[in-house]
Structure 1
Amino acid sequence: MTPHHVLVLGGTHEARRLAIALHHDPAFAVTSSLAGRVAVPRLPCGDVRIGGFGGAAGLAAWLRGHRTDAVVDATHPFAARMTANAVAATAAVGVPLIVLRRPGWIEGPGDRWHRVPAAAAAAALVPRLGARVFLAIGSGDLAAFARLDAWCLLRAVDPPPPPLPARHHLVVARGPFTADAERALLREHRVEVLVARDSGGELTAAKLVAARELGLPVVLIARPPAPDAPVVASVEEAVAWLAAALPGRP
């Protein structure tokens, strides 16, 4: 029996773990798709394609042309456009879609979190909380802070494109980072407030731990609305869903 061809829209730790699981299961043939925004990405197991599809129509054409049996959207929780394209394309082609999203973070004792709906709201709130800001949000939402009259610490895998805050210091680094390293970074740059996106996951939670230990306020940007598709929270759930949605195993 021919293995089921699964397209994994990836770029996350969970996507790489899912690719490993599917690559070693004879029931599946996996292709992982990476957006190409990082110059030197971490490549998952199996076949890999890098670059955009050209919107929902382009993705639908790719699914037809590559005889794809199912799609797993395991992109970053804030990759709303790619998720919307996946929903539209799979509906047009009639291919099942599952969304793999790690749970968001939960506030605990000692945390000083301020939840906001979007990056613009975070930029409006920050001046009331501190004058030295760590924008731990990647590069996607930095434009919302371009007019912020504060000193900003930025961190990214690759130098982000403009517009950027006028007064900023860029650290080019790839995580994950330990709580000790995050604590040292916050102290070194005398950070007074942390801005983060509610991406969830243990691998990126160290900055929140460090902020809690140092008593710093955190502005946490909410995730985009949930997609119109089934959602699972773990790699194991995604594999089980695929096995049920694609019956018959070689």
Structure 2
Amino acid sequence: MMHVQHVLVLGGTTEARRLVESLVGDPRLYVTTSLAGRVAAPRLPPGDVRVGGFGGADGLAAWVREHRVDALVDATHPFASTMSRNAVLAAAQAHVPLLALRRPGWVAQDGDRWHSVASLAEAARLLPTLGERVFLTTGRMGLAAFAGEGLDALWFLVRSVDAPEPPCPRKMDVLLDRGPFSLDGEREILRRHGIDVLVTKDSGGDATAPKLTAAREAGIPVVVVRRPPVPEGVPVAATPDEAGEWVRRLYASG
């Protein structure tokens, strides 16, 4: 009797959805996607989906054992460092192989005026030296970093999928939208709102990259928050295809 391999994908990214779409049709595989539940109306991948946290690394390890998971793929957002650390601990506890699926980070091009920082707090400290009208595209989580009195003179356009909650910048407009975004659309946002500085996380990928091109064209400085490294010792796939090959190699070797 054929053993069906259970693959748990920690998702929430475009790459996670594409990986799952490539795996669900394989009769040798049973795929579950886990979503954190931070977005009110997430785009659901095919196959089984669970929403919500596990209760830390121990909870994830218990779920993996209870549901007889054979392989774990961490395809969360590049900045979901807590979940990635929990995945490493849980995989070790449950004795299952772990792969990180991470799209490559962005690379500065000629004409870019990038300022690389290690955190949102560092980005906030730098902003008053760069501009007064800020396009903040780091999502609704972490806005507290930009709510300090030292930034009261700045105006923020905050773009996020869901409405942000306080604490927030004192002078702020909110743009609720979900990528992918077009270059023409990003150009229009910069022009219409008189944006003179952009703040972004190095999420990588094509869906939100047009804002970088628009900023380069306009000569606008960009504050780029560096992504945390993948935990040491975890193999990394750069594309859903690479991750799919890793999963299928596991099946072949098992």
Fold agreement, TM-score > 0.5: yes
Shift of 1:248: 5.6
Partner amino acid for 2:239?
A: S
Give the structure 2 partner of residue 237 of structure 1.
Answer: 242
Distance in structure 2 (CA, Å) of the matches to 1:141 and 1:134: 15
Give the structure 2 partner of residue 127 of structure 1.
Answer: 128
Partner amino acid for 1:92?
A: Q
Q: How does 1:1-250 map to 2 (within 5 A)?
A: 1-147=2-148, 148-149=151-152, 150-228=154-232, 229-247=234-252
Is residue 39–residue 162 contact of structure 2 (8 Å, CA) maintained in 1? yes
Distance in structure 2 (CA, Å) of the matches to 1:177 and 1:161: 23
Report how many aligned residue pairs link the two structures.
Answer: 249
Shift of 1:142: 1.4
Shift of 1:175: 1.3
For normalisation by structure 1, the TM-score amounts to 0.97
Distance in structure 2 (CA, Å) of the matches to 1:82 and 1:216: 33
The CA RMSD over aligned residues, in Å, is: 1.1
Shift of 1:173: 1.1
Shift of 1:224: 1.0
Distance in structure 2 (CA, Å) of the matches to 1:208 and 1:247: 42
Q: Deviations over 1:99-150 (max 9, x none)?
A: 0000000000111111111111110111000011011101222111111221
SS for the counterpart of 1:247 is helix
Distance in structure 2 (CA, Å) of the matches to 1:191 and 1:25: 48
SS for the counterpart of 2:252 is coil
Distance in structure 2 (CA, Å) of the matches to 1:57 and 1:96: 16
Distance in structure 2 (CA, Å) of the matches to 1:217 and 1:121: 15
Partner amino acid for 2:211?
A: K
Partner amino acid for 2:139?
A: G
Partner amino acid for 1:154?
A: V
Partner amino acid for 1:169?
A: D
SS for the counterpart of 1:240 is helix
